[in-house]
A and B are shown apart, each in its own frame.
Chain A
């Protein structure tokens, strides 16, 4: 069974029959976490780096922003028995339009927001496929923790 993570959305699962997928990341970030011991996996699809631009929206749609979505993703996985020190982390997305510079480069800012939070909390990224000008779709199989990425117009590849 496929659990679909929409835009500004998150799913966590410990059901080995399930896979979690998010489509069309663009400049958004798809953050995938997996604890191989308890076989708990989760995925967050956030759109923007900081919730400070609109607190009301962050209150109703916390998964829209890196700073309000990422802690919730980890906490939900912990509630299913996952542990921080065992967690495998994969990051995809953060693409940019050509010549998209400075603060207008939302893809890069999305990625930097995550890096900053991970640095502060001693979390290491195991693998990533970020930046560039491509649109990505990411999928994780809960039974194995295998992660697959597809860019528009190409075939899905296991990473």
Chain B
């Protein structure tokens, strides 16, 4: 069996991210969608609905009366907050495990993913980018490939670390060299099998900007930037550490100077307590 066949088999055995996330994204990034349409998509999935209502009613949100339906939740918390919760709930299970190959303890990859998603949203809002929910979700699930590749990274750890330490490879480049596929490409493959939108698949595949032509795509660059900032902040970073490439050109494409990056980091620092609380309640 080739490496790719082995990986495909493992993906098939994995419980996919709930379909509601995809359906929701198709609706929410369409400016013509109504609050009612959004609520309808969510309540179609009873498990997610129950889970979202439970979270909405946690003390964190300080609701005066408990939300008893998705419509209640949307009315009381606002559409954006409820969408965010559904997307977080959808990704939580798939991204909650321990990733031994990447030296990540249980909860690390989830912390990294949630932090990336919040930073990406912060950047998307700052630059008034369209499709901010797609950007949020892509940043949240971009490392899904690590959940499969992790076991193999563990076995080939010496080889990969050798390439990074002695040959100047980035961790992603070393994955590609050793397995013929890296975690971003594998993540895109998983997203395709789970019927994510072509846009989402593209962002996941290119979130390390391996193909430099993607630098012109603002949504991809936003997710890339969020990833870089998350690495710098060390939130849930594994043994691959900061061994990825920084592309100054990508910052220029977004019109960012170093001080802008510092400002985004500072803003994230201000929100750290909210992130901690969110990690606890989701």
Contacts and interface: CB of A to CB of B under 8 A. Distances in A.
A27 B232 contact: yes
Contacts of A134: 241-242
A144 interface: no
Contacts of B232: 26-28, 95, 97, 106-107
Contact of A104 (B236, B238, B251): B251
Nearest to B232: A27
A135 B247 contact: no
A25 B234 contact: yes
A97 B246 contact: yes
Contacts of A25: 234
Contacts of B266: 47-48, 53-54, 57, 64
A153 B244 contact: no
A15 interface: no
A101 B252 CA distance: 14
Interface string A77-103: 000000000000000000111111111
Nearest to B227: A97
B269 A8 contact: yes
B103 A97 contact: no
Given A26-B232, A135-B234, A152-B104, A98 B170 contact: yes
A151 interface: yes
Interface in A100-120: 100-104, 106-107
Nearest to B259: A53
Interface residues of A, number: 38
Nearest to A57: B266
Interface residues of B, number: 35
Contacts of A107: 232
Interface string B3-25: 00000000000000000000000
- Residue of A27, A60, A132 with most chain B CB atoms under a 10 A cut-off: A27
A133 interface: yes
A122 B140 CA distance: 45
A22 to B, nearest CB: 10
- Residue of B241, B248, B259 with most chain A CB atoms under a 10 A cut-off: B241
B265 A47 contact: yes
Nearest to A136: B234
Nearest to A103: B258
A99 B246 contact: yes
B154 to A, nearest CB: 10
B32 interface: no
6 contacts: A26-B231, A27-B234, A47-B233, A54-B263, A61-B270, A153-B238
Interface of B: 102-104, 170, 228, 231-239, 241-248, 251, 257-259, 261-263, 265-266, 269-270, 272, 276
Q: Ordered nearest first, which 4 A-B pairs have the shortest CB separation?
A: A153-B103, A153-B239, A26-B234, A24-B234
Given A47-B265, A102-B258, 14 more contacts: A7-B269, A24-B237, A53-B262, A61-B269, A96-B246, A99-B247, A101-B248, A104-B251, A104-B261, A132-B241, A133-B243, A135-B241, A135-B242, A152-B103
